[in-house]
Structure 1
Amino acid sequence: MDEDGNIIYSLGTLSNKDNFSIPMTLLLESGRLTLEKKISLFEYIPLYKENNSSYQYYEVDNIPILQVNSLCRTTASDNTIESFIENSKTLKEKDTVIIDLRGNIGGNMLNVEKWYEGFTGTKLRKDIIESGLYTNTSIDLSKDKFESKENEPDNIKDDCLETISRYENKRYFPGWSPIEYVDFKPIDNKTNIFILMDKKTSSAAEFLIYYLKKLNNVTLIGTNSNGCMLTGNCNSAVLPYSNIRISISHKIYINRDFHNIDGLGILPDLWVKPGQSLNKVINHIKKVS
């Protein structure tokens, strides 16, 4: 996408190496003429944003923009995630919506489900296979995480701790919870949704992209996401002798086709530098409207 919002072709590649640039030699042929051209492809750097709240709604030229910095509270007093969910109920009447998920490293899947239900009017039928490991260790780690959380008010932490304790009474404790998944049922979406994403877009934010992309009229703009969808409910602990901090997940999510995109992420429909994607998609919307 160029500066004016026109869709163009551009040379690029995915790389599994931590390189800022990739040298490449092109062989250009036209009739009997051959030209060898050396170029370098440069990495699309994720957008840096200072996040003072989970969510902000604003409009540019009457285009609604949902800047979703996180899918959970950023501080205990931050209630903007509730506004994000509440706004979903009115957005389906809009012709076009931009959802900005650049730099969003995830949060609570419940907020994804609530927003989807508010926007579509139907409950989200999750077609991802999921199961959780519930043992004394995983429950203690989860309790420790919520007791030390600084971005949740005390009443929310108390509710979460009570929910965690109930797993000790489940028939499958200790062990894996029963596998859960259903068939996804799309709805007829008439709102043009443009989702901005970059390499920092992760976890619950990727699940929001995954399910919205199953609807009509949804276009992904930016770069591939982080690829952090295989595990969830991440807890951390410090090893007693080395003092090394480790992260431990006790929930697993698998596509029904068993295709693992960890590290690769979800690919966009249109590749655009994250720092330029908002202005370019606004110009594109104005051009095609």
Structure 2
Amino acid sequence: MTNSGRRCESWSLKAVRLLCALAALMALVVQPARPALALDQSRLVLSPQAKAIVEANRPEPDEMPHEDLLALFSSLLYDYTDFRDEPDLNRLRMDPAAIRKAGAELEEWSISRAKAVEEINLLFDVLKYGYAGYQFFGGDEVFEAAKSRILKEMSQYAQSIPLWNYSYMIAASLEFIQDGHFAFGNRSICQWHTFRVNPYLRFFMDDDGRFVSETGIRLDSINGADPSSFLKPSIDEDGDIVYILGMLVPDWQADFMCQLEYEDGRMEMAWLVPVSPMDYGGPVYELGEVEGLPLVSCRSFDSVHDQDRALSKFVQDADKLRHEKAILVDLRSNHGGSAAYGMLWCQRLMEGGAGPATFTAELATDTAIALLLNRLAERREEELDADEARAVQAYWKNAQDPSRPGWCRISIERGGRVSNAPFIAVLIDSNASSATEDFIRRLRSMDNVAIIGTNTRGALLCVNPGIFALPHSGLEVRIPTMLWLDSEMQNRDGIGYLPDFWVHPDHALEYGVKFVKKHLVPEGSAVR
């Protein structure tokens, strides 16, 4: 073999290995591949009471024509006319080990004002060319205003700026970026929301649609408003539907108190306490059984550390569940990973596609590619060599949309509400995020699903983050390079998807099983 042939073979092998790793980072593809609990042949569905609650928590059917949705999505992508002011790529390369070391010593540092100005200019150039949400959050007008605020605040310092203060003023000026994957200085600037609840009060709904206490007294108002704004459908220890006093509030809001006024004139004050998430642990994937119901538990969709085998089994086992009457899917503590696993699980269960219409657009600028190369190096814990870097660059450049410079072609998944034979009870908590939320989004599009727990994390708007570090301060910036929206065109980051039945995650499985046994009825039956 000639030297050129060896070089070609070596480059090809490296390219194959790198693109395999890249697939693990981006949008993994899983290899496909069937205990069934049988009752009678009728389909089990939610009782009318439960179904009404679930349907009230689902989006209205798409009314906007698909072409208009595509046009709306396209308008959220920055229109690059040229790339003359794109940042120098050499300034974006980072050594993960060196940055980690620097990050541990940030408290002792300050930065000169001249270097800080240089970094701010670089940061906003990188955001313009490397952040997929740049136009979504206001484009040049909003980001330039944020940059001006930072520079004005820095002008108060004669020579040097304490690094902690420097980091804070940048993060504070970027708080308009409500993006669960965007991070600055190793911290998220997204405004997260936590569910707060009063654990002692519960209410019921009477035949007139009024809320009544456990003693049968009607509730007139909460904080002077209609009680329905404060009362959430829930499930008690017997599997019955009740209503609890709870609110989704920003994390920074330390205390929250409600004043309740009853029909008999009595008034009551009630404190709301946060529902704090915990790590439920367990294997990456496990198919078990609880009280005769199949239990699908999945704690991660990330294929690192040889988890791909377990996740491939997760996908394959959907075949076994297709003819079940009801199944439980436990997604608590699943922080996400690759959305491919949830998509393929739904496809195998339904023998077809499931989910709403979604639109995705990936940046293919040199800046975005440099950020992703840094991320890939971080995951591998070593820098990429020249051949590997060229392979990644070629991958993105070949995917560019000639009609939209700087972007790959928009990827469109046509969806719709589908009918699923097995009833699915989905258990969630506020640790469920990113790819897990896409799985939940797909499950919500089915007509025979109930979601139990608390709100999810809210990290789905922009994904596939790359990274770089500011050259003088060493502050790390995590910047998503792909915009991802469904037909609702809503940003749920920081809030997430809301459950149909609000239940403390610690009790979601136990109460969920009792709910399934009490509130499923044969389809077409006359049960109220």
TM-score, normalisation: structure 1: 0.87
What residue number does 1:221 align with?
Answer: 452
Amino acid at match of 1:15: V
The residue that corresponds to 1:10 in the other structure is 244
Do 1:54 and 1:74's aligned partners in 2 also have CA atoms closer than 8 Å?
no
Equivalent-residue separation in structure 2 for 1:96 and 1:139 (angstroms): 44
For residues 49 and 150 of structure 1, the distance between their equivalents in structure 2, rounded to whole angstroms, comes to 27
State whether residues 230 and 254 of structure 1, in contact with CA within 8 Å, keep that contact through their aligned partners in structure 2.
Answer: yes
8 Å contact kept, 1:222–1:277: yes
Letter matched to residue 460 of structure 2: M
The 3-state SS of whatever aligns with 2:245 is coil
Query: 2:502 maps to which residue?
Result: 271
Listed one character per residue, the Cα deviations across residues 42-62 of structure 1 (whole Å, up to 9, x for unaligned) are: 1122232235x4212211122
Q: How does 1:110-125 map to 2 (within 5 A)?
A: 110-124=340-354
CA contact (8 A) 1:130 1:252 kept: yes
Match of 2:362 in 1: 132
Equivalent position of 2:315 in the other structure: 85
C-alpha RMSD of the superposition: 2.6
1:252 to 2:486 alignment: no
User: Cα distance 1:269–1:59, how it changes in 2: closer, same or farther (>3 A)?
Assistant: same
Partner Cα distance (2:343, 2:460) in 1 = 16
Which of structure 1's runs of 4+ aligned residues deviate more than 6 A?
none
User: 1:212 corresponds to which residue?
Assistant: 443
Query: Secondary structure at 1:14's aligned position in 2?
Result: strand
Contact 1:55–1:80 under 8 Å retained in 2: yes
Hey, what does 1:200 align to over in structure 2?
431
Post-superposition offset of 1:81: 0.6
User: 2:290 and 2:393 mapped to 1: Cα distance?
Assistant: 43
Please point out which of 250, 258, 261 is paired with 1:27. 261
2:332–2:427 contact (8 Å) kept in structure 1: yes
In terms of mean alpha carbon deviation, does 267-276 or 76-85 score higher?
76-85
For residue 169 of structure 1, the aligned residue among 395, 398, 406 is 398
Q: How much has 1:222 moved relative to structure 2?
A: 0.6
Alpha-carbon separation, structure 1, partners of 2:307 and 2:450: 33
For the residue of structure 2 that corresponds to 1:202, the secondary structure is coil
User: Which residue does the alignment assign to 1:65?
Assistant: 295
- In structure 2, how many angstroms separate the alpha carbons of the residues matched to 1:168 and 1:179? 14
Give the equivalent residue in structure 2 for 1:76.
306
Cα offset, 1:176, TM superposition:
1.4
Are 1:99 and 2:329 an aligned pair?
A: yes
Do the aligned residues in 1 keep the contact of 2:362 with 2:408 (CA within 8 Å)?
yes
Distance 1:189 1:166, change over 3 A: same
Residues 286 and 262 of structure 1: CA distance in aligned 2, closer, same or farther (over 3 Å): same
Q: 2:355, 2:444 within 8 Å by CA — same for their partners in 1?
A: no
Question: Which gives a bigger RCO, structure 1 or 2 (Cα 8 Å, sep 6+)?
Answer: 2
1:93 counterpart letter in structure 2: H
> What is the CA–CA distance in structure 1 between the aligned matches of 2:393 and 2:420, rounded to whole Å?
36
Letter in 2 for 1:12: G
Q: Which runs of 5+ in 1 are unaligned?
A: 152-158
1:101 to 1:171, Cα distance in 2 relative to 1, 3 A:
closer
| Secondary structure at 1:181 match in 2 | strand
Shift of 1:256: 2.7
More helix by share: 2
Relative to 1, partners in 2 of residues 1:50 and 1:150: Cα closer, same or farther, differing over 3 Å? farther
Shift of 1:243: 1.6
Between the two proteins, the alignment pairs up a number of residues equal to 279
Quick check: 231-240 or 86-95, which moved more?
231-240
AA paired with 1:208?
Answer: F
2:354 and 2:449 map into 1 onto residues whose CA distance is: 17
- What is the SS of the residue equivalent to 1:11? strand
Mapped contact 1:198–1:225 kept (Cα < 8 A): yes
Structure with the greater alpha carbon radius of gyration: 2
Give the whole-Å Cα distance in 1 for the aligned partners of 2:502 and 2:308.
33
Aligned-partner Cα distance in 2 for 1:111–1:172: 27
Q: What is the CA deviation profile of residues 245-284 of structure 1, one whole-angstrom value per residue up to 9, with x for unaligned ones?
A: 2211000012334222221211110000011111111122
Secondary structure at 2:411's aligned position in 1?
coil
Name the CA distance, whole Å, in 1 between partners of 2:498 and 2:296.
21
The 10-residue stretch of structure 1 (198-207 or 184-193) with the greater mean CA deviation from structure 2: 184-193
- One-letter amino acid matched to 1:281: G
- The whole-number CA distance in structure 2 between the counterparts of 1:29 and 1:183 is 50
Written as runs of structure 1 = structure 2, the 5 A alignment for 1:180-195 is 180-195=411-426
Equivalent position of 1:156 in the other structure? none
C-alpha separation in 2, matches of 1:134 and 1:238: 20
Contact 2:358 2:414 in 1 (8 A): no
- Secondary structure (helix, strand or coil) at the match of 2:241 reads coil
Cα deviation, 1:173-217, whole Å, max 9, x if unaligned, reads: 761123332431343211110111111111111111111111121
For 2:281, give the aligned amino acid.
E
8 Å CA contact 1:20–1:43 kept in 2: the answer is no
Give the whole-Å Cα distance in 1 for the aligned partners of 2:457 and 2:310.
Answer: 24
Deviation at 1:29, TM superposition (A): 2.6
**Partners of 1:178 and 1:206 in 2: how far apart?**
24
**Which amino acid letter does the alignment assign opposite residue 59 of structure 1?**
E
1:32-47 equivalences under 5 Å are 34-47=265-278
* Contact 2:468–2:477, Cα closer than 8 Å, also in 1: yes
Q: Distance in 2 between matches of 1:79 and 1:165?
A: 29
Q: CA deviation at 1:144?
A: 3.3
Is the 8 Å Cα contact of residues 281 and 333 (structure 2) preserved in structure 1? no
